[in-house]
């Protein structure tokens, strides 16, 4: 695995491969890697000749400075995992390489960044949009791989690629879960043992709500049961639990004839905020 730190190094190395008709896959990450990231790498290796992983903790997508400062950093372990996984290149830039000056541009994603994550984390998706645009322009991949766990982010990135005509395919990879159902997340590293135990309530609530919906029960009564479920767990504080269209993120009051539907949720466990989602008809 070769480690590249600058845009010039990336261009010099990858242009040769492009000239030889090699397909390039990009897996953007913020480090603190886990099996979910490695699944992205695995899929990328199946569909792309060359796999590039980026590690960059993007400051512009954090609306909470404390969250940015506490974001887990496990670079030595990350390097070992990526090398063992057969990654070809790691793009590991310093902040000044990505942001030589403060960005003046802002991106308005309309409805997509005004609800759920956009509502609770103002400015988050603007930061995501800017850094993903930069990574796509720097690496110029044929395909970029993202996890379904960040479903609203996926919708944002698809809109970004469509509206700005990026010449890249976005491939979404299913969420990877622990045996107890908890979705893998870098933020899980910040949970103490009691909070980690309590975090099981998220997937439990999602799978319960999906089952209830498919059995024909009304969403209003399901939501009431979910609120009671979270109220019974003192370590958890539910932020939202919504039924939405999976691509456009319009909030629904029931599934009706709509088939592309997901439940999205966010909850706090102490000062650690976790998100998750589940598709209803997959």
Task: List binding-site positions for ATP.
Answer: 30-37, 147-150, 176, 184-187
| CATH number of the domain residue 217 falls in | 3.30.1300.10
Secondary structure string (H, E, C) spanning 77-122: HHHHHHHHCCCCEEECCCHHHHCCCCCCCCCCCHHHHCCCHHHHCC
**67 and 123 part of one domain:** yes
Is 37 among the residues known to form the active site?
yes
Per-residue pLDDT of the chain (282 residues), as tens digits, is 999 999 999 999 999 999 999 999 999 999 999 999 999 999 999 999 999 999 999 999 998 899 999 999 999 999 999 999 999 999 999 999 999 999 999 999 999 999 999 999 999 999 999 999 999 999 999 999 999 999 999 999 999 999 999 999 999 999 999 999 999 999 999 999 999 999 999 999 999 999 999 999 999 999 999 999 999 999 999 999 999 999 999 999 999 888 899 999 999 999 999 999 999 998
**98 and 154 part of one domain:** yes
Measured CA to CA in angstroms, residue 79 lies from 1, 2, 14, 91, 99 at distances of 9, 10, 20, 11, 23
Instruction: Specify whether the CB–CB gap between 176 and 156 falls below 8 A.
Output: no
Q: In angstroms, rounded to a whole number, what is the distance separating the alpha carbons of residues 16 and 30?
A: 27
**43 and 119 part of one domain:** yes
pTM for the model stands at 0.96
Task: Tell me which residue has tokens 């090699």.
Answer: 22
| CATH number of the domain residue 7 falls in | 3.40.50.620
Q: In angstroms, rounded to a whole number, what is the distance separating the alpha carbons of residues 240 and 275?
A: 10
Task: List binding-site positions.
Answer: 30-37, 61, 147-150, 153, 176, 184-187
> Of 152, 173, 194, which marks where a domain is finished?
173
**158 and 192 part of one domain:** no
**19 and 139 part of one domain:** yes
How many independent structural domains does the chain possess?
2
| Catalytic member of 37, 111, 124, 142 | 37
Task: Tell me which residue has tokens 């940015």.
Answer: 68
The tokens describing 85, both together, are: 């996984």
**11 and 139 part of one domain:** yes
The tokens describing 200, both together, are: 């099981």
**70 and 18 part of one domain:** yes
- Which residue range forms the structural domain that includes residue 65? 2-173
Task: List binding-site positions for beta-alanine.
Answer: 61
């Amino acid at each position: 695995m070769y480690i590249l730190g600058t845009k010039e190094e990336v261009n010099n190395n990858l242009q040769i491969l492009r000239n030889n008709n090699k397909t390039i896959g990009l897996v953007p990450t913020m480090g603190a890697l886990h099996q979910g990231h490695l699944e992205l790498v695995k899929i990328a290796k199946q569909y792309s000749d060359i796999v590039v992983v980026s590690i960059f903790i993007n400051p512009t997508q954090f609306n909470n400075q404390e969250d940015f400062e506490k974001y887990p950093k496990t670079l030595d372990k990350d390097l070992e995992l990526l090398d063992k996984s057969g990654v070809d290149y790691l793009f590991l830039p310093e902040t000044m390489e990505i942001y030589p000056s403060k960005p003046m541009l802002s991106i308005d994603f309309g409805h997509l960044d005004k609800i759920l994550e956009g509502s609770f984390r103002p400015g988050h998706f603007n930061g995501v949009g800017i850094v993903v645009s930069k990574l796509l322009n720097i690496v110029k991949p044929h395909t970029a791989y993202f996890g379904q766990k960040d479903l609203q982010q996926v919708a944002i990135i698809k809109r970004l690629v469509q509206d700005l005509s990026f010449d890249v395919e976005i491939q979404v990879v299913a969420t990877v879960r622990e045996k107890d159902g908890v979705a893998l997340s870098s933020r899980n590293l910040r949970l103490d043992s009691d909070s980690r135990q309590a975090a099981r309530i998220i997937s439990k609530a999602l799978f319960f709500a999906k089952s209830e919906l498919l059995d024909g029960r009304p969403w209003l009564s399901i939501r009431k049961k979910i609120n009671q479920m979270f109220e019974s767990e003192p370590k958890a504080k539910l932020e939202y639990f919504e039924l939405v269209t999976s691509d456009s993120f319009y909030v629904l009051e029931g599934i009706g004839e709509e088939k592309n539907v997901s439940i999205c949720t966010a909850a706090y466990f102490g000062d650690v905020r976790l998100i998750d989602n589940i598709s209803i008809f997959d």
